[in-house]
């Protein structure tokens, strides 16, 4: 067992870490300290969309580090401005606020919603959030999260959230009818941590309609779905709508910590000097990395590649697992892919690790794949072969599902 796995070590014991430590990576591949090679089908949880050690990101970070790393937001930051311009052009949103993580991006969104409410004489503003959602681990974002495990032990929770089932327009309409201090809806276009839950195609359109009628803000948490992963730059582009607020983080910096809250229209100018801030947010180093990520994605047309790979992978998994009666569903939107089994399957994570494959299991029984967008066709085939073999041998050891 390596030193970093030692339970008595100096890192707080907040993670159930797998018994492996990586030393370097290239593209979709990682190598551990003993020289074993792994196909990374998780990308550091949807972060390394360009794979590991991408030369364009390495170059941008190195060059910027040699020029200027940090000055604080007391001063102008040219690369941050360039990044904000790029994000506005890509998304159609108007303004950016930069933080250092997904949770911080969502904190900014929550603050915008509350201030928007107060500006409209709503003293106790509420935000509608979803069952099964994940929005982060800070006090406000864990309160918004629809998973008791994330909240347990940290009560009192932050107030001002009303929870409804996901993918249920009627439930939102009921709240609209019965509650007059709602100011916003915060929702993931696809629930990632919740188990790759893909709502009906008209779900966001329906939410947009209610928000317009009620004068609420539609706030999309695209921290996992954004930056090309869904096969569009932003998952809302699969619908006909635009959000008022959108948060991004994970893949934005390809591993350099950066998050952003984008806003437009009536949400764009809610935050004013003194309302919010961050010491590190959008500093020259991370902004340069994010700019390199966007440029590289554009130059290599990686968003359409994600869409094409996603279709290809879901088809391949569906075909290969068609005769496995424990496989309930194979679903995906771009490179957000879920393979749902009829049985808890967290053991598959270690089985895959032992076979040189990095995967994750969400919601206990959904194999979650978030491979890098730079996956080649040959690597995609390897992923399908390896994983289907593992799933088949895992389910072969399970009791046969009850017939009805």
Ligand X SMILES: *Cc1c(COP(=O)(O)O)cnc(C)c1O
Q: Which residues bind ligand X (CB under 6 A)?
A: 101-103, 106, 134-136, 188, 192-193, 221, 223-224, 249-250
Give me the least distance between CB of 133 and ligand X, in Å please: 8
Element of type H or E holding 38: strand 37-40
- The 3-state DSSP class for residue 200 equals coil
Other beta carbons less than 10 A from residue 188's beta carbon: 26
- Determine contact, residues 158/133, Cβ cutoff 8 Å: no
Give me the least distance between CB of 141 and ligand X, in Å please: 7
Give me the least distance between CB of 194 and ligand X, in Å please: 9
Nearest CA among 237, 219, 217 for reference residue 227:
237
- Any alpha helices (H) in 120-262, and if so which ranges? 139-144, 148-151, 169-178, 203-214
Q: Which is nearer to ligand X, 239 or 247 (CB)?
A: 247
Give me the least distance between CB of 170 and ligand X, in Å please: 24
Q: Which is nearer to ligand X, 232 or 326 (CB)?
A: 232
Give me the least distance between CB of 191 and ligand X, in Å please: 8
What are the residues facing 199 on neighbouring strands?
Answer: none
Residue with tokens 């194999």: 367
Give me the least distance between CB of 102 and ligand X, in Å please: 2
Give me the least distance between CB of 393 and ligand X, in Å please: 30
Q: Which is nearer to ligand X, 221 or 340 (CB)?
A: 221
Position of minimal CB gap to ligand X: 102
Q: Which is nearer to ligand X, 77 or 103 (CB)?
A: 103
Q: Which is nearer to ligand X, 41 or 327 (CB)?
A: 41
Residue with tokens 């801030």: 277
- Give CA–CA dist 302/166, Å, rounded: 30
- In a 13 Å sphere around the CA of 134, the CA atoms on its Cβ side amount to 18
Nearest CA among 279, 273, 230 for reference residue 72:
279
Q: Which is nearer to ligand X, 140 or 390 (CB)?
A: 140
- Give CA–CA dist 266/114, Å, rounded: 13
Q: Which is nearer to ligand X, 40 or 193 (CB)?
A: 193
- Give CA–CA dist 269/95, Å, rounded: 8
Give me the least distance between CB of 190 and ligand X, in Å please: 9
Q: Which is nearer to ligand X, 142 or 309 (CB)?
A: 142
Radius of gyration (Cα) for the chain, nearest Å?
21
The token pair at 2 is 């390596």
């Amino acid at each position: 067992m390596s030193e970093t796995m030692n339970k008595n070590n100096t890192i707080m014991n907040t993670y159930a870490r797998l018994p492996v430590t990586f030393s370097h990576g290239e593209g979709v591949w990682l190598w551990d300290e003993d020289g074993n090679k792994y196909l990374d089908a998780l990308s550091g949880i949807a972060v390394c969309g360009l794979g590991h050690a991408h030369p364009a990101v390495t170059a941008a970070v190195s060059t910027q580090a040699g020029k200027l790393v940090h000055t604080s937001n007391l001063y102008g930051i040219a690369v941050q401005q360039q990044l904000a311009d790029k994000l506005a052009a890509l998304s159609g949103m108007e303004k950016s606020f930069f933080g250092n993580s997904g949770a911080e991006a969502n904190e900014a969104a929550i603050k915008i919603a509350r201030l928007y409410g107060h500006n409209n004489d709503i003293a106790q503003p509420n935000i509608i959030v979803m069952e099964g959602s994940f929005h982060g681990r800070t006090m406000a974002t864990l309160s918004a999260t629809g998973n008791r495990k994330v909240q347990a032990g940290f009560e009192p929770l932050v107030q001002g959230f009303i929870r409804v089932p996901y993918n249920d327009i009627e439930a939102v309409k009921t709240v609209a009818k019965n509650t007059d201090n709602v100011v916003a809806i915060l929702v993931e276009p696809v629930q990632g941590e919740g188990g790759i839950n893909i709502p009906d195609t008209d779900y966001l359109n329906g939410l947009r309609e209610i928000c317009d009628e009620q004068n609420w803000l539609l706030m999309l948490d695209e921290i996992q779905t954004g930056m090309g992963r869904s096969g569009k730059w932003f998952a809302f582009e699969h619908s006909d709508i635009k959000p008022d607020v959108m948060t991004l983080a994970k893949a934005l910096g390809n591993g350099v910590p950066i998050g952003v809250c984008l806003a437009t229209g009536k949400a764009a100018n809610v935050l004013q000097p003194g309302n919010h801030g961050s010491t590190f947010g959008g500093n020259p180093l991370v902004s340069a990395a994010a700019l390199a990520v966007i440029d590289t994605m554009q130059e290599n047309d990686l968003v359409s590649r994600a869409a094409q790979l996603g279709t290809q992978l879901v088809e391949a998994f569906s075909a290969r697992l068609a005769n496995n009666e424990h496989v309930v569903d194979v679903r995906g939107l771009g490179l957000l892919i879920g393979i749902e089994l009829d049985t808890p399957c967290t053991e598959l994570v270690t089985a895959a690790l032992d076979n040189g494959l990095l995967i994750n299991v969400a919601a206990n029984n959904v194999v979650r794949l978030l491979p890098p967008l730079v996956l080649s066709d040959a690597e995609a085939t390897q992923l399908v072969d390896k994983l289907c073999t593992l799933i088949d041998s895992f389910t072969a050891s399970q009791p046969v599902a009850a017939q009805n």
